[in-house]
Amino acid sequence: MMPYETLRGLGKPRWTMHRSVSPDYSRVIDFMKLLEAKYEYNFEKAKTQIYEGLMEAGAILKEGKWYYGEKPITINFLIRPEDERKDVGDYVSDQLERLGFTVNRLYKPSRDAFLLWGAFAPTKRGEWHIYTAGWANTAIVAYSDDDPWFFYSPDNAPLFEEYTGPPLLREAIDKLNGAQYGSMEERNELVRRINELALADGVHIWLYDAVQAFPMSSNLGPLAYDLYGGIWSLWSFRTIRYGTGPGGEIKLGNRAMFIEGFNGIGGFSWLYDVFAPYLVADVGVWPHPHTGRYIPVRANFEVNTAGPDGKFSVPEDALKYDVETKSWQTVGTGVKATSKVTVDFVLGKFHHGQAMTKADLLYTIAEIYQIVTPGTELYDPIAASPSRTLFVNNLRGFKILSDDKVEFYLDYWHVDESFIAYQAIGPSFTDTPWELLAIMNKVVASKESAWSIDMADILGVEMLDLTKGPTLELLKAAYDELSAENYVPPELAGIVTPEEARARWDALGNWYASKQHFWVSNGPYMFGKADTTALQMTFEAFREYPYRADHWDDLLTVKSPEVKVTMAPVEVVPGLPATFEVTTTVAEQPYDRVAIKYLVRDPKGALITKGVGTRKAEGKFSIILSGNETANFATGAYTIDVIGVGEESALPSFTSATFTVIPALAYFERLLKGTSAELNTKINELTATLASANAKVTALETTVSGLQSMLTTAIAVAVVSLIVAIVAIVMALKK
């Protein structure tokens, strides 16, 4: 009841790591429903299992409280007080206290809480045990390959470093994250296995999906919003404008800011900070806000694949990076790959006026290798994200055909080609000029700062921040040193001329002198300044951005189908077919580009059959439960859940209908009674008709009898008249 009481209806129950409206959930929804039934709330069941586990561990229950040795078992519960999570935390604390635990409720607002659960040392010291965590998706993705890795891998963050899950779970996670499967069904089976093992392990207890509301001024025009992220989306602030058109100033309210340092390598993991990079830094590809498939932003792509099982040769002159020598080598002979991604980049300028070149691309690729390779000066296990790690593990070589065209050769296959493209483009597209990376690297390599807040905590230094704080002085010192020597990284030797290097260093120096920060990127907005006292950030339009304000207007309309059950039987008889009629519409117009699935649940909520709908006409589908399917239905109230997934919107549409299964004997008895009653009615009607006919016949007989009498009399009169006439004639003749 939590989503309905605590959230006042603005939430839906959730059991798994996948949102109940996610594409991955809808693909295996029948299995998810089984898991939900298995893990539904049951306090007494939980109590039994917890008591058994504690007693096996040697704990003792005294006067309703659990003790281990002489000390009460105390749980440090980190609770966020600024939103509904306070109520959630208090509710869960109450349940734990009912079970006999001593609960230390630690009410900490966002930043204070993050510095506990998001940092290494406090987690290590056990300063917290449970946290009212909240996770937000800022982009819908058609395939959530790295979500299990994020939540259940000890490779991710200090939050999970102390966690060691079941080996089978880790194996399945790595297979899904690395796309180690040969078909969609194999992938679906991995999703099923991961969710089953994760729930059995129970390190994360999923409670609900919150329904977010975003108040906006009526003066604003339409904007593109993501079906997961709403306006926490990269697309929203690239399409936002006043109803009168482009131009003007927009003020955005934000909940919390400046939790982490602003750098694109290990920063921006905090939800309320993502507005900044989404405005300032550009990307090569990004998920479509409605389908979750990757589409070009600054990188058009073509994918050729021999996968899942085939291979082809990588050109001998393709390049690879050598971490030890910090140089580029050719791959040589005999190297094989599964897929090739040919990319045409839309380059343009950086904010400091310098043109993007292949040197920036090369240095970005080298940077990725340095970050994810243990033992390098720049290695950071937190910054070594799944996308960066997979890029390094799967890249077999690349060829730079020109400043804006590159071929990537990957030993990687996916059921969706846009995800193959992302593996090449996502990490490699550069949003940072090489000279800025160089000074960032110098500061991090010296251990004076760190990419991530976690590594900063371990080293006892500040997290790197390009916009504010003490690391600006470190960056300025690094800039002064490298600029003075007109530094060119070894990876770019022979690629960047001294004149080009000088122009870059001068541009970066002028930028810092003007802006008093080092965040130079290539997105539609430039970072203005950060005021940590007023909790404000300002951004300025980048007038040399390659796209116009209306470039993404085709994303403004969401084509998410509405599904309705328009006809459903009230009763269903075992052994007899049952038909349901379904309509699908978009903007109240019939819509065909949708797949219809259905699930039938019995009175206990158990799934008993499933299938797909059949298209009958435009926007019309039918679902037929055959006699064989209904034959085993027991009596009671049933529910049929209908799910529609459109081709132009990955967000599933749900509806349902109910029906009652009645015993076949009762049905036939009722049918017999109905038939008997109908026959009796017909007989009575026929009897009445016959009686009426008889009455009419009797009346007719009477009429005929009367006519006969009249006829007899008439004949008699006629005969008499004839006789009289004859007599008269005879008498006349006698005269």
- Rounded CA separation 123/116 (Å): 7
Rounded distance, CA 645 to CA 595, Å?
5
Domain shared by 299 and 398, yes or no: yes
CATH number for the domain spanning 505: value is 3.90.76.10
- Residue 721 is assigned to a structural domain of this protein: yes
CA–CA dist 671, 679 (Å, integer): 12
The partner residues of 450 in beta bridges, in order of sequence, read 463
Q: What is the pLDDT of residue 286?
A: 98
pLDDT at 606: 87
| Helices and strands of the chain, counted as H and E runs | 22, 32
φ, ψ for residue 60, nearest 5 deg: -125, 135
pLDDT for 196 beyond 60: yes
Q: Is the pLDDT of residue 366 over 80?
A: yes
pLDDT score, position 245? 85
Q: Is residue 113 part of a domain?
A: yes
Residue 472 lies inside a defined structural domain of this protein: yes
Higher pLDDT, residue 684 or 532 = 532
Residue at 488 is within a domain? yes
Q: Which amino acid is located at 279 in the chain?
A: L
| 88, 6 Cβ separation under 8 angstroms | yes
- Omega prior to 166 cis, within 30 of 0: no
Residue with token string 């129970």: 202
pLDDT at 734: 46
Q: What angle do CA 125, 127, 133 make, to 5 degrees?
A: 120
**Strand pairing class (130-131; 74-79):** parallel
User: Are 410 and 349 contained in the same domain?
Assistant: yes
Residue 230 domain flag? no
**How do residues 402-413 score in pLDDT, each as one tens digit?**
989 999 999 999
Say whether pLDDT at 119 is over 90: no
Query: For the segment 420-432, what is each residue's pLDDT rounded down to a tens digit?
Result: 999 999 999 999 9
Instruction: Classify residue 227: in a domain, yes or no.
Output: no
Verify that 385 and 436 share a domain, yes or no: yes
The pLDDT assigned to 698 comes to 67
β strands within 471-576, DSSP E: 525-531, 536-541, 562-567, 571-572
Identify the domain boundary among 530, 555, 580: 555
Q: What is the pLDDT of residue 39?
A: 92
| Percent above pLDDT 70 for the chain | 90
Q: Are 164 and 243 contained in the same domain?
A: no
Residues near 484 by beta carbon (within 8 Å), at least 6 away in sequence: none
Boundary of a domain, candidates 555, 572, 600? 555
pLDDT digits 0-9 by tens, 31-86: 998 999 899 989 999 999 999 999 999 999 999 999 999 999 999 999 999 888 99
Lowest mean pLDDT among 347-351, 521-525, 669-673: 669-673
- In a shared domain, residues 734 and 616: no
Please state whether 486 falls in left (phi above 0), alpha (psi between -120 and 50) or beta: left
163 & 303 share domain: no
The residue behind tokens 């030993």 is 411
Task: Name the strand (E) or helix (H) holding 174.
Answer: helix 167-177
DSSP 3-state of 37: helix
Q: What would the pLDDT profile of 444-481 be if each residue is shown by its tens digit?
A: 999 999 999 889 988 999 999 999 999 999 999 999 99
Residue 225 lies in a domain: no
Rg (CA), the chain: 39
pLDDT score at 160: 65
Distances (CA, A) of 288 to 233, 236, 272, 410, 683: 10, 12, 21, 23, 69
Note down the domain range covering 572: 562-662
Instruction: Tell me what the pLDDT averaged over the chain comes to.
Output: 90
Whether 37 and 100 map to the same domain: the answer is yes
CA distances from 183 to 143, 307, 386, 427, 653 (A): 13, 10, 21, 25, 25
CATH of the domain at 135: 3.10.105.10
Mind listing the pLDDT tens digit for each residue in 431-442? 999 999 999 999
Long-range contacts: 164-173, Cβ < 8 Å, 24+?
Answer: 165/197, 165/198, 165/201, 165/203, 166/197, 166/200, 166/201, 168/193, 168/197, 169/194, 169/197, 169/198, 169/201, 172/148, 172/197, 173/148, 173/149
Say if residue 204 is in the same domain as residue 251. no
Mean pLDDT of 317-342: 98
Same domain, 188 and 311: no
692 lies in the same domain as 636: no
If pLDDT is split at 50, 70 and 90, which confidence band does 727 have? very low
> Which residues have a Cβ under 8 Å from the Cβ of 686 and sit 6 or more positions away?
none
d(CA 229, CA 292): 11
Section 546-569 average pLDDT: 94
Residue 725: pLDDT band with limits 50, 70, 90: low
Q: Is residue 33 part of a domain?
A: yes
Q: What is the pLDDT of residue 323?
A: 97
Q: What's the pLDDT at 211?
A: 84
Same domain membership, residue 66 and residue 32: yes
Mean pLDDT within 198-202:
94
Identify the weakest region by mean pLDDT among 140-154, 347-361, 702-716. 702-716
Averaged pLDDT, 84-105: 95
* Boundary-marking domain end, from 662, 693, 713: 662
What is the number of structural domains in the chain?
Answer: 4
> So what's the pLDDT on residue 730?
45
Q: How high is the pLDDT of residue 246?
A: 85
Instruction: Please tell me the least confidently modeled range out of 290-299, 483-492, 645-654, 667-676.
Output: 667-676
Report how far Cα 601 is from the mean position of its chain's Cα atoms.
25
Q: Please give the pLDDT value at position 669.
A: 74
What φ, ψ does residue 453 adopt, rounded to 5°? -65, -30
Q: Are 483 and 392 in a shared domain?
A: yes
pLDDT in the model for residue 458: 87
